[in-house]
Amino acid sequence: MLSNGYLYNQSFFKAQTLEVNKKKNLLEQIQQAKIGKQTAFNFLLDTYWNEVYAFQLIRLRNEYEAEEITIETFAKAFDKINTFKEEYTFSTWLITISKNIHIDKLRKNKSNIDTQNSAALEQQIQKIADDSPSPEDNLITQQNLAELLQFIKLLKPHYQEVINLRYFQEMSYKEIAEKLDEPINNIKVKLLRSKKLLSEIITSKRSQ
């Protein structure tokens, strides 16, 4: 018969192994993001969105503002992903960026933090994600139009807007950024997030 001590040690060892593998996978995803892999950006966004959003929601007590700053947080983090050092915790790095954005907004009292020149914008277009179809893109484009429109209506208005501009009006990221008067990195992250949410809605409705 196995002792309680043995079982505890086995459970502890398994937990430690899982934690090591989780950290290894995270570092691999960060390295992939540094060379511009879209799947890595998707992974980081999906993994840490709730943590950053909850942090801002506690500070702001306003869902819309918390969401907007969370979008800006990932936009800025992805733009500066090459500056991340592995000895730091990625979640702490993100929260620090998010906190600074909020402080900067309070100080400047305006919606956009940085004014970027066109050369920097063009560089950032390639930075966050490429234009190759993601699994979410494929799922969305495979839907019946009438059903897809109903699914889109379940998204928050600002997510509906970018989906409409991207898929139905076929605007480029730059064109959407100009139309909405937002930094292009924000548009990239907002689209990643909206596609993720829309694909979850589609999958959920299909399984019912």
Q: What gap in Å lies between CA 186 and CA 143, rounded to an integer?
A: 26
Q: Which residue has the higher pLDDT, 88 or 16?
A: 88
SS3 50: helix
**All CATH 1.10.10.10 domain ranges in the chain, comma separated:** 117-208
Q: Give the residue among 205, 169, 161 at the shortest CA–CA distance from 187.
A: 161
Q: Which residues make Cβ contacts (< 8 Å) with residue 78, sequence separation at least 6?
A: 33, 41, 44, 127, 128, 185, 188, 189
How far apart CA 68 and CA 65 sit, in angstroms, is 5
> In the structure encoding, which two tokens stand for residue 89, read together?
């915790």
Integer angstrom CA distances of residue 1 from 4, 5, 13, 38, 184: 10, 12, 20, 50, 62
pTM exceeds 0.75: no
The CATH topology of domain 117-208 is: Arc Repressor Mutant, subunit A (1.10.10)
Long-range contacts of 45-52, Cβ-Cβ distance < 8 Å, separation of 24 or more:
45/74, 45/189, 45/192, 45/193, 45/196, 46/196, 48/74, 48/90, 48/91, 48/94, 49/74, 49/193, 51/91, 51/94, 51/95, 52/94, 52/95, 52/98
Q: 25-45 burial, b if ≥16 CB within 10 A, otherwise e?
A: ebeebbebbeeeebebbbbbb
Confidence of residue 75 (pLDDT cuts 50, 70, 90): very high
Tell which CATH classification among 3.40.50.11440, 1.10.1740.10, 1.10.730.10, 3.30.590.20 matches the domain 8-114: 1.10.1740.10
N- to C-terminal Cα distance for the chain? 46
Residue 92: pLDDT band (50, 70, 90) is: very high
Within 13 Å of residue 35, how many CA atoms lie on the same side as its CB? Answer: 5
User: Where exactly does CATH 1.10.1740.10 map onto the chain?
Assistant: 8-114
Average pLDDT, the chain: 82
Answer for the pair 127, 185: CB distance below 8 angstroms, yes or no.
yes
Burial (0-12, 13-18, 19+ Cβ within 10 Å), 121: middle
Mean pLDDT throughout 158-176? 92
Q: What is the pLDDT of residue 52?
A: 95
Predicted confidence (pLDDT) per residue in 107-157, tens digit: 876 544 444 444 444 454 455 555 667 778 888 888 888 888 999 999 999
